[in-house]
Structure 1
Amino acid sequence: MPTPRDQLLALIKDLAVVHGTVTLSSGRQAEYYVDLRRVTLHHAGAPLVGHVLLDRLEEVGLGAGEVDAVGGLTLGADPVADALLHAAASRGQGLDAFVVRKEAKAHGMQRRIEGPDIAGRKVVVLEDTSTTGGSPITAVEAAREAGAEVLGVAVIVDRATGAQEKIEALGVPYHYLYSLTDLGLA
């Protein structure tokens, strides 16, 4: 019987890895694309993402008892945060989720971060996959501006293209579930 981690890896390989030339959000060209929304929004993938990533966060001391909330820049981080919130709840643990907008709303509450207030709380910033680190860095900066203590960044797939180094340069530990080698892409 494969472990949940192995099951998630198989789903990523089957559903998310798309071969062919694509332009990444960084502007770089790649011969493949890892479209993790095909997994994070999948009926079998989302629960696996939540439990496997929560297990990883617990391994590094960032589980639901140590962290108050998880979230990141919309859209890649949204289903990951939701999956973690639900995984923690299924284990009887409280873990809130938050969404960082690219810019504050011009109407209503004019908030940049949606969800429960993160001021004075310990958070982990999430992303599905990161190339340059731009999205998690934006979310780290927004969370800090909102008064949160950012304890780490966690992604499902690390592309090994510099995101880890840039994020760690901010004094934020970087964690990931799978490398390109794990996906058979390196």
Structure 2
Amino acid sequence: MTNQELIDALRAADAVRFGEFELSHGGTSEYYVDKYLFETDPRCLELIADAFAERIDDDAKLAGVALGAVPLAAATSVAAGVPYVVARKQRKEYGTGNLIEGRLAEGEEVVVLEDIVTTGTSLVDAVEALREAGATVERALVVVDRQEGGRETVEEAGVEMEALVTAEELLAGRD
């Protein structure tokens, strides 16, 4: 897959919108990348899963940051033939109350998957929860890096972050 192929698929899914949008961290933006539109589009999901699968080792475990990256982790798990866990942002108040759902062994290498990184806070929170649960986390793969400081936040947490697409690439050539 080329970056342009993914960019074309994201655009075809109408996942990139322009206007005035409030973001989850409270800031505003002139564009919005709708993860639910690209994560529910079979072509986008296939391209993302295949691209992520190419970038992981056969012995790695995946972690999807809840809720947005869970479909990405599930699809990549199938594409790569490796298991995954779900990293919650906060404990459930019922059932097991786990922050990490699924099987995770002490010292296991985990690659965290995320949909969109803006500030990097959600990704770092997931990394910390995984590390507290005994995982070794040194890498994160993301679909879109909005290039708003998230990469630096993630790297300060000791995690190498690789994005399939940057905001600059995604917005290039906009009329």
Identity %: 36
4+ residue stretches of structure 1 with deviation over 6 A? none
* Structure 2 unaligned blocks of 5 or more: none
What's the offset of the Cα at 1:143? 0.3
1:133-144 alignment, distance < 5 Å = 133-144=120-131
| Equivalent residue number for residue 178 of structure 1 | 165
Where structure 1 has 5 or more consecutive residues not aligned to the other structure, the ranges are 58-62, 90-94
Does residue 145 of structure 2 align to residue 153 of structure 1? no
- For the aligned residue pairs, the C-alpha RMSD in angstroms reads 1.7
For residue 48 of structure 2, give the secondary structure of its aligned residue in structure 1: helix
Q: Which amino acid aligns with 1:32?
A: Y
Q: Distance in 2 between matches of 1:172 and 1:54?
A: 18
Q: For residues 56-110 of structure 1, give each alpha carbon's deviation from its aligned partner in whole angstroms, at most 9, with x where no partner exists.
A: x2xxxxx23241x112321121111112101113xxxxx1111112222233222
Contact 1:12 1:36 in 2 (8 A): no
**8 Å CA contact retained: 1:9, 1:183:** yes
Counterpart AA for 1:27: G
The match for 1:10 among 8, 11, 18 is 8
Count of aligned positions? 172
Please give the TM-score of this superposition, normalised by the length of structure 1: 0.85
Equivalent residue for 2:73, pick from 81, 84, 94: 81
CA distance in structure 2 between the aligned counterparts of 1:118 and 1:77, rounded to whole angstroms = 21
Is this contact kept in 1: 2:58–2:80, CA < 8 A? no
Match of 2:45 in 1: 46
Summarize deviations over 1:123-170 as a string: whole Å, max 9, x none: 011210111001101100000000000021111110110011111111
* Separation in structure 2 between the aligned mates of residue 31 and residue 5 of structure 1, nearest angstrom: 22
